[in-house]
Amino acid sequence: MADRRQFIKAAAFATAASYVRILGANDRIRIGGIGTGGRCQYLLSLLNKGGGSQIMAICDVYEPHRQEAREKVAPEAREFTDYRKLLEQPDVDAVVIGAPDHWHVPMAIDAVRAGKDVYVEKPVTHRMEEGEPLLKAVAESKRVVQTGMQQRSWPHFQQAREIVAGGGLGQVTIIRTYWYQNYLQGRDTRAPIDALKLDWKMFLGSAPDQPFDPERYRNWRWFWDFGGGSLTDLFLHWVDVAHWCMSSDTPIDAQAMGGKYVIPEFQWPDTVNAAFHYPGNFLVNFDCSLMGYLEGGGLVFHGTKALMRLHRGGFAVYPEQARSTELPDLKDAAQEVQSTHDGTIEHLQNFLDCIRTRNTPNAPVAVGVAAARAGHLGNQALRSGQTVRA
């Protein structure tokens, strides 16, 4: 911690003294990637395709991840194991943080204090109490911080939000959210983790000291020291959409239950059900299981005038009918929109645009903190077995 404090002070001094680069519309924004596993590599690949930026440096505690990132997205980039060394580089304007959850806040705070703009994946915080220090650090730094809530830049989600917020569904009283993934598939065919090429101590960071465990390293988000399971992973995308559409981002209370039914080696339940009560008289429910892909993920808004099914493939609005029905299939949509691409493209472009203009991005840090707060509240309810009030 003493080393980290010294680094922050030195970086802040260097920033105040020398960070004078003014970006024009045609200047390439110089990017550093931190935590270059699969998600970060994907984000960097989209930046490459979009143009307007150049990947200057990559950092990961696992050598094969650095090598893969170099080969796929950044052949000329410099490599680092310690992210603080990357942040010292004067030719890096902004960083993309794709490290495990427990590193998001320390890395983001260090980055903004080093004069870097930041794209940080969700959940922005690993613990509820990290929110305020992060908000304070970002406000003091005046850096651009975009959080990984890409639905806010996705055109059909923006259109759907206008319908809900504009009263097109009537009064919405319940929003069902769900996400199903298959973590059973391919578990026996994965490549082994080479512990000799991993800086396990650096990976642990603020987590308690513990021996290397390939399961915890590979599936870190399902262990409490490093992640918060699907309530701070998958659910955050949908609860953020609910917050955005309903203009209400702080639950009154939460209930949750779950079980380890098919993957007992995870600490976090592989099957969960959670419910959140919000000001404004509406509920948000979440269902998740890790045993199969069918149904995927999405939201269903139930309103007094209409119902909306919304997911990454598009949305459909179905008017309320005059007669009772018990049939699950909906027909005769009043409006239907399909999406043809991943809105993360627009989200990253919004990030680059805001670096140049210094405008507020579509998903600023307060948005990410609010979404994470709902997930943390759900996890508190899950672990305590009680209703938890905010």
Identity of residue 106: P
Q: Are 266 and 289 within 8 A, CB to CB?
A: no
Q: Are 319 and 168 within 8 A, CB to CB?
A: no
Largest CA distance in the chain: 70
Identity of residue 297: G
Q: What is the pLDDT along the chain (390 residues), one digit of tens a residue?
A: 555 555 555 554 444 434 446 676 668 999 999 999 999 999 999 999 999 999 999 999 999 999 999 999 999 999 999 999 999 999 999 999 999 999 999 999 999 999 999 999 999 999 999 999 999 999 999 999 999 999 999 999 999 999 999 999 999 999 999 999 999 988 877 889 999 999 999 999 999 999 999 999 999 999 999 999 999 999 999 999 999 999 999 999 999 999 999 999 999 999 999 999 999 999 999 999 999 999 999 999 999 999 999 999 999 999 998 888 887 788 899 999 999 999 999 999 999 999 999 999 999 999 999 999 999 999 999 999 999 998
Quickly list H helices, 88-233: 104-113, 131-141, 155-165, 200-204, 214-218
- d(CA 117, CA 368) in angstroms, rounded, equals 16
Q: What is the pLDDT of residue 25?
A: 60
C-alpha 160, offset from chain centre: 20
Burial class from Cβ neighbours inside 10 Å (0-12, 13-18, 19+) for residue 81 reads middle
Q: Are 163 and 241 within 8 A, CB to CB?
A: no
- DSSP letter at 342? -
Nearest to 366 by CA among 153, 162, 151, 145: 145
Q: Which two tokens stand for residue 316?
A: 């459909």
Residue 316 phi, psi dihedral angles, 5° rounding: -140, 140
Q: What is the pLDDT of residue 27?
A: 87
- d(CA 304, CA 264) in angstroms, rounded, equals 42
CATH number for the region 2-148+347-364 comes to: 3.40.50.720
Q: Are 308 and 293 within 8 A, CB to CB?
A: no
Q: Are 43 and 120 within 8 A, CB to CB?
A: no
Residue 245 phi, psi dihedral angles, 5° rounding: -70, -35
Confirm whether 2-148+347-364 and 152-183+219-341+372-389 share one CATH topology.
Answer: no
Residue 360 phi, psi dihedral angles, 5° rounding: -75, 130
Nearest to 362 by CA among 109, 155, 99: 155
Q: Where are the domains of the chain?
A: 2-148+347-364, 152-183+219-341+372-389
Nearest to 242 by CA among 213, 280, 273: 280
Q: Are 122 and 237 within 8 A, CB to CB?
A: yes
Q: What is the pLDDT of residue 4?
A: 58
Say whether the peptide bond before residue 123 is cis (omega within 30 degrees of 0).
yes
Residue 55's DSSP bridge partners are: 31
Superfamily the domain 152-183+219-341+372-389 falls into: Dihydrodipicolinate Reductase; domain 2 (3.30.360.10)
**Residue 163 C-beta-side C-alpha neighbours within 13 Å:** 27
- d(CA 181, CA 166) in angstroms, rounded, equals 33
Q: What is the pLDDT of residue 329?
A: 82
Q: Are 292 and 263 within 8 A, CB to CB?
A: no
Q: What is the pLDDT of residue 311?
A: 98
Q: What is the pLDDT of residue 15?
A: 46
Reported residue count of the chain is 390
The 10 Å Cβ neighbour count of residue 145 is 31
